[in-house]
Amino acid sequence: MILLALDGTGAGLSRASLELVSLGRQLAGDSPLGGFLIGDPVQPLLDQARCAVDQLWLLRGEGLPSTDPQRAAQAAEAALQAAEAQLLLLPAGRLGRSYSPRLAVQRGWALLEDAAELQLDGQQLSATCYAYLGRIWQRRSTHPPAVVSVKAGSVSPAELVSVPAAEVRVLEVATSSPLEERDFVGQKLSRVPLSEAEVVVTGGRGLGSQEAFAMLEELADLLGAGVGATRAVVDAGWRPYAEQVGQTGQTVQPKVYLAIGVSGAVQHLSGMNKSGYIVAVNKDPEAPMVKSSDLAVIGDLHKVVPALIQALRGRRD
């Protein structure tokens, strides 16, 4: 069986989960598809999950759900055993990517990370993964059983039409971890999450100050865009880490990526160079970001951005 690591909010399954569902269906064909949720789901989430898969495990236990990879791996292990699964698909987020290697080692399974274009062909499992800071694509192949973290946005999310049909089994899981976590500080994202935004507006050090981000936020709101930041800006304390795009931050792949005053270090480019279109606003025609762009506006961002805001407001009125 193929098993999916599902998650969601009060409103239902997360986008990443819906993507897993559509991929899982593709790979499973006519065979039943399994899934698990960790913790006690609210009704809408449970209903959606029951539409999405054929068999659903609810993993409950003290300390669950958890951001601790130790506990997450133990919970997933229990589900894998119960489902007798040969393939586990999970979203390639921070948690998924930190506990999937544990699972792979514990079970002696293969591991594919941040995989796109996953194919299962008999005993051959292959996927496209990026390497060398996103500069090279690689087709990697292995054999099931395997744990696969699936790249966000690499398949379209499933559209759930059926009735909640999956049989639900509750598994009580005792997890333990020597790691104690506390003082969780969540990302305060008032806007669209970067991973889901169609347009991302990212500000770099060229903005000159923390205050200048106010106009970037306004621009983002007018465009319905997410706001991103470069490492330099995050290091300077102007923006929270949650907004950082790049090797050490998030990888984004929006339809349009607007880089405002971003010079374009390789580490940054690796986090956004798969975007549909890249637009740079920069005064330096030599900036790497300008060279990697589809459209570069060469000029003073402190004049261009207000002009953009004005023009967009004009269209609203």
Partner 1 sequence: MKILVAVRQVPDAESRLEVSEGNLDLSRASLVLDGMDEYAVEEALLLREAGLEAELIAVAVGAAALEETLRAALAMGLDRARLLVGELADPLAVARAVAEVARDEQADLILTGSQQSDWDSQALGPAIAACLGWPQVSWCHALQLDGGVLRGRHDVEGGSAAFEVALPAVVTTQQGLNEPRYPTLPNIRRSRSKEVRSESIPVTLADGWQLVAQGSAAKARLGQRIAVSDPQEAAAELLSWLEQTAKVRL
Among residues 15, 106, 191, 221, the one that binds partner 1 under rule CB under 8 A: 106
154 lies in the binding site for partner 1 (CB under 8 A): no
CB of 163 to partner 1, least distance (A): 31
Tokens, residue 121: 């062909």
Rounded to the nearest whole angstrom, what is the least distance from the CB of residue 264 to partner 1 in the complex? 12
Query: By CB under 8 A, is residue 256 in contact with partner 1?
Result: yes
- Helix, coil or strand: residue 226: strand
**C-beta of 174 vs 295, nearer to partner 1:** 295
> Considering only residues 141, 156, 209, 210, which one is a binding residue for partner 1 as defined by CB under 8 A?
141
Beta-carbon contacts of residue 269 (< 8 Å; ≥ 6 apart): 133, 134, 246, 288, 289, 292
Tokens of 218: 């306004």
Instruction: Answer yes or no: are the C-beta atoms of 199 and 223 closer than 8 Å.
Output: yes
Q: Is 80 among the residues that bind partner 1 (CB under 8 A)?
A: no
Q: Does 27 bind partner 1 (CB under 8 A)?
A: no
Cβ burial of 9 (10 Å; 0-12, 13-18, 19+) is: exposed
- For partner 1, give the closer residue by CB, 169 or 241: 241
Residues 207-246 that bind partner 1 (CB under 8 A): 223, 231, 235, 241-242
Nearer residue to partner 1 within complex by CB, 108 or 161: 108
Please tell me the distance from the alpha carbon of residue 258 to that of residue 242, in angstroms, as a whole number.
Answer: 18
**Any contact of residue 155 with partner 1 (CB under 8 A)?**
no
Hey, how many other C-beta atoms are within 10 angstroms of the C-beta on 213? Answer: 19
